[in-house]
Chains A and B, each alone.
Chain A
């Protein structure tokens, strides 16, 4: 009741601020995934050596020992425009080396290509699905975690790539290391 005797209706901000404050101030829920995101780059060996650059996402889950690793790469080929979307499942090896997290992985990729010049009788553009095998190591350093990685693509557009990158943690959750593996 206000001093003029009328019931005061709370504003929308006043009604919702406790919930907003709770949402902002609360820590990560126990079911939330650990999210690491970063940039990657390297060289792809397929005939000749083509550089590539892309983004790297690592999602760790409380119920699984696997880290799901979607990536997107732009491969700078002289004759083709190539984009590759991959999703790998990474398994961090239980190796007792402090701040080094080696891993292996397997997954699938879709490669979308387009030739810069048309050749009669050959698909000038298209997409191909392939299998990925991955091995790498991530270095659990505060703020950003660098990694190096070797990828083997199996399929019609097979390739080997050697690269690396940096990932950063988007949460303050201490259940996972900076690389996204379960904290020991």
Chain B
């Protein structure tokens, strides 16, 4: 084993061993719906998040989501020549701060929380030609986005639970941009339910 690898391994082991005694990991796999706002509602999104909680009081969360049929058809109709079928989708990534407050009693363990963070939304506009005189195309745009919301985690067993989460996302779009297909800021509410592994 080369010295740099040994050093890196040693640093990794020390870093893991030096984690605070009450820190906890929480991983969540979720399904979501954009329920209100400037994007299409009713379509399925899938996401995962991983959060690291310090003493159960504050968590740092990385969140990623894929969402099909992201924009409303009528909002992007200008991109769609006759004979082209247009589909939109989005990939979201965000880093968030989570502040939980856990309640434990006869009704089990419930951890309501508030969260806020920043990230990116990468939207794809994919046109598929259905006529010989038209051409398929793909356009993309990536925008900064902020989010804030609330949710609750309920423990079913010591390590497995579920999470219900509602958060507002707002994307900041450069209106002078010529790439992509949606040229103004947009915001929407996302509601998700998911299975959690770990404990805050």
Is A110 engaged at the interface, CB distance under 8 Å to the other chain?
Answer: yes
Report whether A110 and B108 are in contact in the complex, using a CB–CB cutoff of 8 Å.
no
Report whether B33 and A31 are in contact in the complex, using a CB–CB cutoff of 8 Å.
no
List of A residues within 8 angstroms of B158 by Cβ: 31, 63
A121-149: which residues lie under 8 A (CB-CB) from chain B? 126-130
List of B residues within 8 angstroms of A31 by Cβ: 157-158
Report whether A129 and B42 are in contact in the complex, using a CB–CB cutoff of 8 Å.
yes
Q: Mark B65-107, 1 if CB is under 8 A from A, else 0.
A: 0000100000000000000000000000000000000000011
Residues in B lying within 8 Å of A, measured CB to CB: 31-33, 41-44, 69, 106-109, 154-158, 162, 193
Considering the complex of A and B, which 7 residue pairs feature the smallest CB-CB distances, nearest first?
A156-B42, A61-B156, A129-B33, A64-B108, A64-B156, A128-B42, A129-B44
Interface residue tally on A, bucketed by range: 20 to 34
Report whether B107 and A65 are in contact in the complex, using a CB–CB cutoff of 8 Å.
yes
Q: Which of B43, B106, B157, B162 contacts A89 (CB 8 A)?
A: B162
List of B residues within 8 angstroms of A63 by Cβ: 108-109, 155-158
Residues in A lying within 8 Å of B, measured CB to CB: 31, 33, 59, 61-66, 68, 87, 89, 107-108, 110, 126-130, 155-156
Report whether A68 and B162 are in contact in the complex, using a CB–CB cutoff of 8 Å.
yes
| Minimum CB–CB distance for B90 against chain A, Å | 15
Report whether B108 and A130 are in contact in the complex, using a CB–CB cutoff of 8 Å.
no
Report whether B31 and A65 are in contact in the complex, using a CB–CB cutoff of 8 Å.
no
Please name the residue on chain B nearest to A67 by beta carbon. B156
The 10 listed contacts between A and B (C-beta, < 8 Å) are A31-B158, A59-B156, A63-B108, A63-B155, A66-B156, A87-B193, A108-B33, A126-B43, A130-B42, A155-B33
Cα-based distance from A83 to B32 in the complex (angstroms): 18
Report whether B193 and A61 are in contact in the complex, using a CB–CB cutoff of 8 Å.
no
Please name the residue on chain A nearest to B154 by beta carbon. A64
| Minimum CB–CB distance for A61 against chain B, Å | 4
| Minimum CB–CB distance for A142 against chain B, Å | 27
Q: A31-B158, A128-B43, A128-B44 known; 5 other A-B pairs, CB under 8 Å?
A: A61-B156, A107-B193, A110-B44, A129-B43, A156-B42
List of B residues within 8 angstroms of A127 by Cβ: 43-44
Q: Which of A126, A128, A129 contacts B31 (CB 8 A)?
A: A129
Of the listed residues A59, A68, A129, the one surrounded by the most CB atoms of chain B closer than 10 A to its CB is A129
List of A residues within 8 angstroms of B109 by Cβ: 63
